[in-house]
Structure 1
Amino acid sequence: MKRAVSCAAILALAATGCTNIGFDTGQHLPQNDGANADLKGVVHVRNAYLQAAPGQAASPTSPASEQTLYAVVINDGDKPDQLQHITVEGGGGTVQLSGAAADIRPDQPVGANQQPLGTVTGVRGTSVPMIFTFRDAGAVRVIVPVKSNTSQSPAGPTTMTTPAAPGHAPRHSPAH
């Protein structure tokens, strides 16, 4: 009887096409609104997006004055790497990295806690192709979506903690 119930359950799952319930059989893709990319299985860019200034919507015709670039960069390697620069593909804008984006230490995500990677000027559209270039891992292309900021007034300053290097105290910085 028990075997018949098990066989019936397997047949029901196969008939509905749900043979993969709860298991990841291939590449794991995070569930977020931003873009994700992997480079050589070592460096991972997660939830990359541009945040438009308050009251500014993404426009296909006129370039944005300034947008904030958010992403979390994870180094699964055994040695530090460095995010050297990010460029807008096709030269339609510029990216200014923040100081936090420089060193990517193993198992210490950069950009966590809504810490921006930098600012982007002169881009247009609802998504922007960008090239993230790392010293050791190389370059990866990411199609970064633009999120409109509908808030009428910017939030007050908040304090974030950046992961400390071994032997150093955590660093606090105001959010933008």
Structure 2
Amino acid sequence: MITVISGTNRPDSRTLLFATHFAEALREMGQEVQLLDMQELHHGYFAGEMYDPLANDEQLVEWQRRYIEPASKFAVFVPEYNGSYPGVVKLFIDGISVIDYAGNFSGKYVALVGVSSGRAGNLRGIDHLADVFSHMGAWVLPNRLPLSSVEGLLTDDKLTDEETKRTLKLHAEQLIAA
């Protein structure tokens, strides 16, 4: 199973549009796919108790069991926030790591996609995130995909740029082959 993660909790983020397109492309290729939308993660778990495995938040535990543990591969889409990836992604990783560190990402494949209205496509942020996943034992695919100037790739909140569609399809094929 592949879990596609839209790595922001910001409402109306373009990141979810690209992650959804990617998940649909994977399904069209015959893959079993889940989409984890971080907008749906409540903020109540952000407290010192999140580091206590006996007091961990029920939603975090449920998401870990539903989206993380059964997946053998991940595609993580992250927008650029202040020169890196959103803090909610790191906070989520930290929260679920208390529950079962080794069962989360170790030995699993991760494809990274940066989403940015700027020119660099959050390349720096996906490099930062690659370091985190590598530290946790994940196999990060070498071809990280920075999507730049994303407003010009969409029409009415749909991906319409054909070159970007082809590039995302190639990225999906590489993840499947991993």
Q: Normalising to structure 1: TM-score of the pair?
A: 0.28
Q: Normalising to structure 2: TM-score of the pair?
A: 0.28
Give the number of the structure whose alpha-carbon radius of gyration is greater.
Answer: 1
Structure (1/2) with the larger strand percentage? 1
